[in-house]
Amino acid sequence: MDEESKADGRRPSSRRRAGVERSGSYKVSGGGESADQQPVSQNDPFEMLNVISFMEAFGEELEDALGFVAPNPQLRMSLHLIRSHLEAKAVTPTSLIGASGVPYATASRRMKQMIDDGLIDQRPRTRTGKTFTLHPSEKLLESWVQMTGRLKRLASSSFGTVDTPETVDDYYYGGSYMAARPIPPLRVLPEPLRVPGGLRVLVHGDPTFMVMNHLKRQFEQVVGTDIHQRAFSIDRLHEEILKNAERRVSRYDIIAFDLPWLGELAARDMLMPLDRVVDISRLDTADFHTAGWKAAHWAGKPYGVPAQTTPELFFYRKDLFEKAGLRPPASTGEVIAAARTLHNPAQGRYGIAWNAARGTALGHTFLMTMADFGQPVVDLPPAAGGFDTERLHRGGLRPMIDTAAGRAAAEYLLELLDYSPPYILSMSWYERIRPYAAGEVAMAYGYTLLAPYFELDTASPAHGQTGYLPHPVGPGAAPIAPVGGYALGIPRNIPAERQHAAAEALLVFTSPEAHKLYIQNGSRTNPRYSVSADPDVRRTSDIFDAVDAMSWRDELQFWPRPPIPQITEIIRICGEEFHDMLRGVVPLKTALRQAQDRAERALRAPI
């Protein structure tokens, strides 16, 4: 990772990182339960490793205590395979035979039998296929996941447990039935990806992509080649993508792009249409949140696969609201009233945190705030659920900044200033969540990807006390949660001989199994319905239920930041003009007019 991503795409503190790295055994409290009362998933990789350790130790005790108990080679080899798979370690026939505990000839026969029975997958290590690595098959993994759950219930019923026991009704009427069918662990590819120098991936330096980097060894085991990930801050990432497109040959096999950039990247022929390199049916597109999948299309063609669907939500402290007798705010007026009530600088607490730093950060805020008052930044035609984004590629659009909705949005931001921290005008993506996590502010606008800063930190006053809402709205507007996040795409100038490997890796990185793994290691973004429905994921955080409910109510929308080719410039313009307004350098009316004029010129300029 480069130095800027360390500074801009900041990771949580060391205490929080520990929570991320062991998030499988760490459960966010909710519904009145404490963290140590939460049930532990039988598909949690750390819990599975605990069960493996127990079975290995128990087997050794039996063999030592009872001389007539002989080693079970199939069991020992199964334990070794699954442990190595979870720890991303390669297994060779020699090492597997060594783990069996029986003579070489006996172990060889048992290993061959397991291969014939479909319990072990073989993957060639070289082009000749003379040597290969061994991996647990999907059949073995699924059997192990189910056995882990049964073993825990057996131990609980025989010896008691500190976990909350399941009731008979839970077991027969949904709870255990669902928990027995979670998304399985990642499987290795049948054939390793053969790509000189390994896979090269360009990403944003945010918590979700940092989780991917933390899991690099495991993904290298899955795809069979090295992975080199480079991370940048949002503005640097955009610059690097544009720079890479000018190179004769792409430096990267896969790039992550912010959803609003799609129009620019597609119109300038910087991305490969996915249907040229991927069988789209393999993606199970119906499983993606509708808004996230639609946002990855330009002129009817998909150019990326959602890697994060991370709507910007309204976070609020449930305990502070309850103590003050406030209800969760549904309107911008209620936000101001709650901020006024909870704002108490003398005690070191402020009402609200939001993106107000000059440029990109504040520009995003203004566009989303306009959407809260029912209008996009350009004149999109109305459609069911919001506004029509199907014809953005045709152009001919006009800015709608100097309008009644634009004025209402600007006035709202000016009101928020009175109840914000004194450093609000330099506050951006991560800076708005840090004071919220520290208990210094009562409310914050924030993407779900930033929730780990308080969800994984048990010392945070916001831990277990955060409510998640769509954006509170202005008069007559419908609630929305503006969709943000990143998609993974393939650069147009990638060499032909690397396209297959890039496409296969893209399918792995965006699979349900991968997204579940990200979440178990601390991510709070998810683009797929199946992952949100997974019982292990649902126990991790209330945020997934909240986002799913918003999706079903059609509140997840990407029209607030329509991916037209000029959107990056328009965001920058708004972030400059309205920052001058918030500083008191220019009056509101002037800021609106100047932003409108500059945006009109940007839309007239050639792409």
What is the chain's percent helix, strand, coil content, to nearest 5? Answer: 50, 15, 35
Q: Where among 140, 168, 198 does a domain terminate?
A: 140
* 546 in a structural domain: no
Same domain for 374 and 465, yes or no, is: yes
| Global pTM exceeds 0.95 | no
CA atoms within 13 A on the CB side of 557: 27
Same domain for 271 and 378, yes or no, is: no
- pLDDT at position 26 over 80: no
Same domain for 496 and 370, yes or no, is: no
Same domain for 286 and 435, yes or no, is: no
- pLDDT at position 43 over 80: no
* 168 in a structural domain: no
* 25 in a structural domain: yes
Same domain for 120 and 135, yes or no, is: yes
Q: At what angle do helices 207-214 and 216-223 cross, to 10 degrees?
A: 60
Q: Residue 514, exposed/middle/buried by CB under 10 A (0-12, 13-18, 19+)?
A: buried
Give 533's contacts (C-beta < 8 A, 6+ positions apart): 548
What percent of the chain lies above the pLDDT cut of 70?
84
Confidence of residue 88 (pLDDT cuts 50, 70, 90): low
* 26 in a structural domain: yes
Each residue's pLDDT tens digit, 479-534: 999 999 999 999 999 999 999 999 999 999 999 999 999 999 999 999 998 998 88
Same domain for 437 and 491, yes or no, is: no
| Kind plus residue range of the DSSP H or E element containing 446 | strand 441-447
Give 420's contacts (C-beta < 8 A, 6+ positions apart): 350, 351, 352, 353, 354, 356, 427
Q: Where among 76, 106, 140 does a domain terminate?
A: 140
CATH number at residue 127: 1.10.10.10
Confidence of residue 85 (pLDDT cuts 50, 70, 90): confident
Q: At what angle do helices 207-214 and 512-520 cross, to 10 degrees?
A: 100
Same domain for 196 and 258, yes or no, is: yes
Confidence of residue 65 (pLDDT cuts 50, 70, 90): low
Can you give the pLDDT at residue 68? Answer: 60
Give 134's contacts (C-beta < 8 A, 6+ positions apart): 81, 91, 92, 93, 96, 111, 120, 121, 122, 123
Left (φ > 0), alpha (ψ -120 to 50) or beta: where does 424 sit?
alpha
What percent of the chain lies above the pLDDT cut of 90?
60
Strands 227-232 and 481-482: unpaired
- pLDDT at position 292 over 60: yes
- Look up tokens 């998933």; give the residue: 41
Same domain for 494 and 478, yes or no, is: no
CATH number at residue 581: 3.40.190.10
Give 474's contacts (C-beta < 8 A, 6+ positions apart): 331, 332, 372, 373, 374, 405, 408, 412
Concatenated DSSP letters for 268-335?
TT-B--GGGTS-GGGG-GGGB-HHHHHTTEETTEE--EES----EEEEEEHHHHHHHTPPPP-BHHHH
Same domain for 99 and 56, yes or no, is: yes
> What's the number of domains the chain is made of?
3
**SS3 assignment for 569-586:** HHHHHHHHHHHHHHHCCC
* 149 in a structural domain: no
Left (φ > 0), alpha (ψ -120 to 50) or beta: where does 278 sit?
beta
Confidence of residue 17 (pLDDT cuts 50, 70, 90): very low
Can you give the pLDDT at residue 146? Answer: 72
* 542 in a structural domain: no
Residues 353, 424 contacting (CB under 8 angstroms): yes
Each residue's pLDDT tens digit, 535-551: 888 889 999 889 988 98
Can you give the pLDDT at residue 384? Answer: 79
Residues 480, 390 contacting (CB under 8 angstroms): no
Same domain for 600 and 459, yes or no, is: yes
Look up the domain containing 103 and give its range: 45-140
* 341 in a structural domain: yes
User: In Å, how far are 52, 71, 78, 79, 152 from 84, measured between CA atoms?
Assistant: 11, 20, 10, 8, 22
- pLDDT at position 290 over 90: no
Same domain for 300 and 446, yes or no, is: no
Can you give the pLDDT at residue 25? Answer: 32
* 115 in a structural domain: yes
- pLDDT at position 35 over 70: no
Same domain for 476 and 507, yes or no, is: no
